[in-house]
Amino acid sequence: MDLVYKTRVFSQGGRNGRVQSEDGLLKVDLAQPAEMGGKKPGANPEQLFAAAYAACFENSVRHIIRADRLPVKGCMVEAEVSLYKNFEDAYRFSLSFATILHGIDQVTADSLVERALKVCPYTDATKNNITVKAVAVLEAPATA
């Protein structure tokens, strides 16, 4: 494989700390979610993971749209991540995507989402590690 990109991110303080990229473009103060006992506002690692995966997955969808010259007029991905604790006290993820599309039929949209799952590097990296559910949702055209 040919290296395409590499980056480095530093974390200090864990869930209630801070993350920062080596180039300084990403700087985020972290806070544990209130549901997990957090006491201060801030982003959490699950939100960062959902955001990164959604952006990468949407790019995979858009890559296929361009390659196939599909007449898609709009595309957006909504990601929902859930964190579970299993019987061994280990944490596990599940992730749901809704890919909102406009300009194509449902069969084409469903195929597009399935194909995007196969080319997205996040899906490949997490294969057999988390549960991923992805659906295509057709956006109705705006009415005047």
Average pLDDT over residues 100-117: 96
Query: Helix 45-68 and helix 106-119: axis angle, to 10°?
Result: 120
Supply the pLDDT for residue 139.
77
* pTM metric for this prediction: 0.89
Phi and psi (nearest 5°) for 51? -65, -45
What is the C-alpha separation between 59 and 76, in angstroms, rounded? 10
Supply the pLDDT for residue 140.
58
Q: Which residues contact 122 (CB under 8 A, 6 or more apart)?
A: 52, 53, 56, 57
Write out pLDDT tens, residues 35-87: 988 888 899 999 999 999 999 999 999 999 999 999 999 999 999 999 999 99
Residue 134 pairs in a beta bridge with 97
Write out pLDDT tens, residues 16-37: 999 999 999 999 999 999 898 8
pLDDT above 70: percentage of residues in the chain? 97
Give the tokens for residue 97.
């995507």
> Cα separations (Å) of 85 from 43, 111, 132, 136?
20, 33, 17, 29
